Amino acid sequence: MSQPQFSSLPLNPSLLQNLNDLGYSHMTPIQHQSLPAVLNGQDVIAQGKTGSGKTAAFSLGLLNALDVKRFYVQGLVLCPTRELADQVAKEIRKLARAIHNIKVLTLCGGMPFGPQIGSLEHGAHIVVGTPGRIEEHLRKGTLKLDKLTTFVLDEADRMLEMGFQDSLDNIIEQTPQKRQTLLFSATFPDEIQNIAQRVMQDPIMVKVEGGVENTNIKQHFYLVQDNQQRLTAVKLLLLKHKPESSVVFCATKRETQEICDELSNAGFAAVALHGDLEQKDRDQTLVRFANKSASVLVATDVAARGLDVDALDCVINYQAARDPEIHVHRIGRTGRAGSKGQAFTLHTDKESYKMAVLAEYLDIKIENDILPPFSLLDKPPFKANMVTLQIDGGKKQKVRPGDIVGALTSENGVAFKQIGKIDMFDNWSFVAVERDAAKVALRKISEGKLKGRSFRVRRLRG
């Protein structure tokens, strides 16, 4: 049965035209169920898994209600992590591109405070941020929410899980009582119900099962004896399947870093993503994984929320997730957009209760597979096809992607097809190039000019 079209909604014509230009004609189930109420100004609680289209659902509501001529904060979106906030802001800007003069501002911790104050002084229509940094701006008086009309809690379950309850309460206190509140969450624990009762007015409840097409995901389970065998199992699975992109989910920040270090020392192109990383290191990690110069991302569940990677070959659960909804959320990272994916879950006898709960939740019989042969450990690890070069020049130095491509492809340079993804930041840029073109690319940038200037360049490793 075909999904209803966006054109059936009372959306701003500019938004509809842009959706059509982007190729978004039909609504996902969560958009179909939530958008009519959102556009009608009602409070909405929407529960849906990764990939269900939640971001577009609340973004279209925010943009449709906006009065562009009034230059103050009308919409606030709270996200649990910087990565998710960046992804949400990017999606809002993409959906808003047909409406002129909309300003979307991202306010997250780990970034300099001063420039954020300067941006706020110039005004913004929509602010996307993390609870701690939003609370800090409110406390210092640099952010005002007295005219807020729409308040969005995105991935609300993770915000509460990360201990942001007090920050949320403090932020809500500084918003008008008369406002629209939209709460989007992958799971719906008791804490979410409690906060909904306190801050929402007669909310419409929307719940969409799925969002993850399990038929596209082949699940495998392996019984291991201890943590040493867990690590060996991860190596064996990576050596057998040679995934171009894979995520290993771990329980703690410390474990995440330790597993990444072990894999890197064994020759795998692995990077770690967890809450203890500095912002520059987080940026590098996400850039390298997205541009295929790192093939393995070792991450905590919280850090991986908002991960914007289209094609993920497999997911490895280093341990069974603490509850089955998190398991579904993890494995939903692979097998997306109709592609096939694989999910490998490692567990010990001590985790038998988790496995029993998971089997009941998924309505499957869990049968353990046999690990790949240990002889694979003698094989060299899969090498990523791309490498990343970091250039010490970015947007503030007026460097553009075209300047980098031009420098790389100039006389005796690399072929255009050997250049991969280019990521621009304020003071540096990253470009992915094919491994066998790395030396030439490094020489072309270091010896050549960008915007008539010389910039330092280095290859990112480890």
Residues listed for the chain: 462
Q: In this structure, what are the phi and psi dihedrals at residue 321, rounded to the nearest 5 degrees?
A: -65, 155
Q: What is the pLDDT of residue 206?
A: 87
Among the listed ranges 8-12, 22-26, 338-342, which one has the minimum average pLDDT value? 338-342
pLDDT in tens, 319-330: 998 888 788 878
32 neighbors 52 (Cβ within 8 angstroms): no
Give the whole-angstrom CA distance, residue 169 versus residue 208: 27
pLDDT at 211 over 50: no
Mean pLDDT of 5-12: 87
**Band of residue 213 on the pLDDT scale cut at 50, 70, 90:** very low
Q: Please report, in angstroms and rounded to a whole number, the separation of the first and last CA atoms in the chain.
A: 48
Check residues 155 and 263 and name the one with the higher pLDDT.
Answer: 263
Which band of pLDDT confidence, cut at 50, 70 and 90, is reported for residue 171? very high
Q: Is residue 215 scored above 90 in pLDDT?
A: no
Rounded average pLDDT over 14-19: 89
Kindly report the number of other CB atoms within 10 A of residue 439's CB atom.
Answer: 13
pLDDT at 198: 82
Nearest to 182 by CA among 33, 43, 82: 43
For the chain, give the percent of residues with pLDDT over 70.
Answer: 94
Q: What is the mean pLDDT of residues 112-135?
A: 91
**Amino acid 453: pLDDT:** 85
Res 304: pLDDT: 62
Is the pLDDT reported for residue 310 higher than 70? no
CA 67, CA 69: separation in Å to the nearest integer? 6
Provide the pLDDT for residue 26: 82
Q: What confidence category does residue 454 fall into, taking pLDDT thresholds of 50, 70 and 90?
A: confident
| Residue 315 vs residue 101, higher pLDDT | 315
Please provide the average confidence, as pLDDT, over all residues in the chain.
88
CA atoms of 258 and 287, how far apart (whole Å): 21
**Ordered domains of the chain (ranges, CATH):** 6-207 (3.40.50.300), 214-378 (3.40.50.300), 386-459 (3.30.70.330)
Q: What is the per-residue pLDDT for 412?
A: 86
Tell me the per-residue pLDDT of 352-370, one tens digit each, with 9 for 90 and over: 999 999 998 888 889 999 9
The predicted structure's pLDDT at residue 35? 93
pLDDT in tens, 35-61: 999 999 999 998 876 667 888 899 999
Q: Give the pLDDT confidence of 55-100 residue by residue, as tens digits.
A: 889 999 999 999 888 889 999 999 988 888 888 999 999 999 888 8
Residue 27: per-residue pLDDT: 86
User: What confidence tier does 309 reach under pLDDT thresholds 50, 70, 90?
Assistant: low
Give the pLDDT score at 212. Answer: 43
Provide the angle, in degrees to the nearest 10, between the axes of the packed helices 13-21 and 54-65: 150
Burial of 353 (C-beta count, 10 Å sphere; 0-12/13-18/19+): exposed
Q: Which of 48, 425, 81, 77 is nearest to 253 (CA)?
A: 81
- Report whether pLDDT(186) > 80: no
Q: What angle do CA 95, 101, 104 make, to 5 degrees?
A: 60
Question: Among 5-14, 72-81, 235-244, 288-297, which stretch is predicted with the lowest mean pLDDT?
Answer: 5-14
pLDDT band at 209 (very low <50, low <70, confident <90, very high): low
